[in-house]
Structure 1
């Protein structure tokens, strides 16, 4: 009798196993679907952050480029323009060194550094999921491209060109909008780092 029940019952039990999916089978399917939707949600978010980075960079670059073209055309070789008395003037100068007139003997080295910074930012953009980081890196990228354009296309030669500076506060070095973008981007990066926010959007605490 037991042997007969075993033989008769086996097909039924096998059929029940085949017709009713187990919980173990259903859970991975659901988790896979959840993971897939999360991944698809992350990709557009990452693209928006990359777009924000390049929009900020283009705006910073065009503002710097336009201001330098205007200064060269209207101010270079002329008397400085007093904006706020003796506190702030516009005075066109050519700077072969780094930001704020430092390191004039190392023009080509600063050019190579600018190129390296641009490459690093572009590579980092692929893992970017934080809007504040996108803005900070966009400012750095736009400023670096602005001054690199001067290094390449202005005299005395390619990669040795002098940068156009014109913002002259009292008792301070003369600088331009590209320098301002680089400094603002650097300050923002320091703030984000102190707050524990990484470029990929995660927050860590030391």
Structure 2
């Protein structure tokens, strides 16, 4: 299968980098600090959502801003403890792309996203974070903003995601979607192409854009 595009848009956590252990560690500590029971905490989906959305499911509105600042601090500090690492295929794929052909689109705050990306040596020219939008994934706003920043028609973009909410955002933006089974099983992911991780994808950059192929 070959997919042609003008730009590639990547989610970060679970797509480019693995941060699941850090997320579990930090959010478990955070929940304890705010007196949230394990049972209540287990019912809240963290992956693919902003911290503000998750906190709003668990705490009174007046506490949410302070709580969001606290979890951001915990997660940023945890990066220094080896809280993230590159997923297979990430560096090779990004190295093959011109800087103006790709962007990172994340539900994390800019401060946290930059900390995680810096820790693994990834420096995107274009980064869309939770701070940049009024509506996070599964709303298409983050991906549409990235396409606009790159000067590319949304229909000419390919979204790489590991979470159902992010894939819904990509589809709602009118983009081609590629799902990675790094955090969710394939049957939970609806996309134009489903692969194990970025090592299963090869790219060819041409004068007309980017051509993607799934490795066999």
TM-score interval for Structure 1 and Structure 2 normalised by the shorter chain: under 0.3
- Higher normalized contact order (CA 8 Å, seq sep 6+, divided by chain length): 2
Structure with greater strand percent: 2
Q: TM-score, normalised by structure 2?
A: 0.23
- Tell me which protein shows more helix as a share of its residues: 1
